[in-house]
Amino acid sequence: MVDRTTIEAVYRHEAGRVLATLIRLVGDFELAEEGAQDAFEAALIRWPQTGLPDNPRAWLVNTGRHKAIDRIRRRVTLRGKLRTLAAESAIAAQPDVEDIEDDRLRLIFTCCHPALALETRVALTLRTVCGLSTAAVASIFLVSEETMAQRLVRAKSKIREAAIPYQVPDREHLAERLAGVLAVVYLVFTEGYAPSAGTAITRPELCAEAIRLGRLLDQLLPGEPEISGLLALMLLHAARLDGRSDGAGELLLLEEQDRARWDRPAIAEGKALVERALAQPGRIGPYGVQAAIAALHADAPNFAATDWAQISGLYQVLLRLQPSPVVELNAAAALSMVDGPERALQLVEALAANGALDGYWPLHAARADLLDRLGRAAEAQAAYARALPLVRLEAERRLLERKMRG
């Protein structure tokens, strides 16, 4: 006897694969989503009577394909008859169910296509690949469900109208496109680890979705060092989530965190992935270097015992691979723990004079910290005051105010 609980478990496990294959078969996101939903509704009726199919995934794909054809037929008008029949014939062939894993990879690359705006890529990936509801995606972007639904419809229309290919790039262009996919995944994680807006200090559910995407990519494209690196980086950061705030909900700096609250199994898995990334052929990439830095933080029994010399050296490697003002700022902070605050302050002052990070509150907070360590209290207070208006999260504001009070 197949009960509803069993069918719902199949749904949770197979929904992403079924949808990915239906999108390939019908060539339309919305029609595929409708077909997948129809297939699961049919399963709720049929399976309790007939039992679980030998291959539930294949059953759902085939049923969804037939349901999509039925929907096309119902939409037929005299004028659109020939066009509709052509569309119907295009999806009439039996799907190759063995190709389903490739379909999920195709779906990720389609949702993360550079022709779409970055925010749209993130939203579409969360909705289609991760299976989050439109309401859940809307809450991430702090917009109404109706607004997000309209954005997703426009994104799907653009994919259709611009004929964005539903395919994995060839080997020649894979590295370039994969970088964009990984950027989307890391953006999802970052929004969970340090939300850009709202009242939550962290959003663990977003971190979990990003890690799930990272695992999927690692499964579908094994042997890619930057996938291993990104997955390691996310696991190592996620391991510290419980330690990022105290019992009162106040944000804690790395040096203030209780390391006993860190997730040691996640750290062990992250470190193993770092080693795997370093051992794979090809030059290590930015995510792998950042993961190696995170692993050194995780290895230290306390803040004072951190191997800052090695971390500082890794930041220099990262600067060569991925030069940016934010990496320069982090490199300066690491250098301050090796050579002291004076040289690091010179680097931060140069960054501030450049103006590229003028609206970035961590720049002014880092400058304030260095000034404070040099005993220049009045200047430090002024730097903290410069940072405060730029902070968007209340927890970060309270953290800076606490630093100002000393």
Please say which residue of 319, 352, 378 terminates a domain.
319
Residue 76: the pLDDT is 59
Same domain, residue pair 113 and 239? yes
Query: What is the predicted pLDDT for the residue at 152?
Result: 93
CB atoms within 10 A of CB 145: 14
Question: Does 19 lie in the same domain as 146?
Answer: no
**Residue 220 backbone phi and psi in degrees, to 5:** -85, -25
Could you tell me which residues come within 8 angstroms of residue 157 by beta carbon, excluding any fewer than 6 positions away?
Answer: none
Q: Which domain holds residue 189?
A: 101-319
Beta bridge pairs of residue 245? 251
> Assign residue 55 a region: left if phi > 0, alpha if psi is -120 to 50, beta otherwise?
beta
Same domain, 167 and 40: no
User: Which of 259, 294, 319 is where one domain is finished?
Assistant: 319
Residues 334, 313 share a domain: no
Last residue of a domain, one of 72, 98, 124: 98
| Rounded CA separation 229/209 (Å) | 17
Is the dihedral angle over the CA atoms 282, 99, 182, 218 positive or is it negative? negative
- The tens digit of pLDDT for each residue in 224-253 reads 899 999 999 999 999 999 999 998 889 999
Whether the model pTM is above 0.85 = no
Distance CA 35, CA 22 (A): 8
Q: What is the mean pLDDT of residues 146-169?
A: 89
- pLDDT tens-digit series, residues 356-393: 899 999 999 999 999 999 999 999 999 999 999 999 88
> How many separate domains does the chain show?
3
